[in-house]
Amino acid sequence: RFAKAAGISIATVGLALSANAATVKLGSDSGGLVFDPANVTVSAGDTVEWVNNVGFPHNVVFDEDEIPDGASAEALSHEDYLNAPGQKVSSKFSTPGKYSYYCEPHQGAGMKGTVTVN
């Protein structure tokens, strides 16, 4: 019984660890005001995680005019600033298409990215 229960727990942990299809750093390791990587491709139903790295504050904002019909920019966006290293936000993508996003404080510096959902 114990081994069987432990096997289920390990399987559950394995699924939880693989839930994020992509991880994007907010700010490059060299200090650049960029999303790293800037472009990711995932499958419908996958989750993308953004991790605050350097050069903060950062946020992740989706433009309603640059996402597929039927998707919600408000639901996907994380407009509150991330102010400490390692802070994380994530969004689940269900509708196939191309999603463009940016960092509000660094949009003028070109900090933007895309998520393509197949």
Of the candidates 26, 51, 60, 111, the residue annotated as catalytic is 111
**Is 67 labeled as catalytic in the residue annotation?**
no
**Is 78 labeled as catalytic in the residue annotation?**
no
Asked whether 35 and 25 are in contact (CB, 8 A), the reply is: yes
Of the candidates 26, 40, 103, 115, the residue annotated as catalytic is 103
Which segments within the chain are labelled E, that is strand? 20-26, 35-36, 39-42, 46-52, 58-62, 78-82, 88-93, 97-102, 112-117
**Is 88 labeled as catalytic in the residue annotation?**
no
Of the candidates 58, 77, 115, 117, the residue annotated as catalytic is 58
Of the candidates 51, 67, 87, 106, the residue annotated as catalytic is 106
The DSSP bridge pattern shows strands 112-117 and 97-102 to be antiparallel
* Residue 66 Cα distances to 8, 28, 30, 93, angstroms: 41, 24, 29, 14
Tokens representing residue 39 in the block: 């472009």
**Is 58 labeled as catalytic in the residue annotation?**
yes
Q: Which residues are catalytic?
A: 58, 103, 106, 111
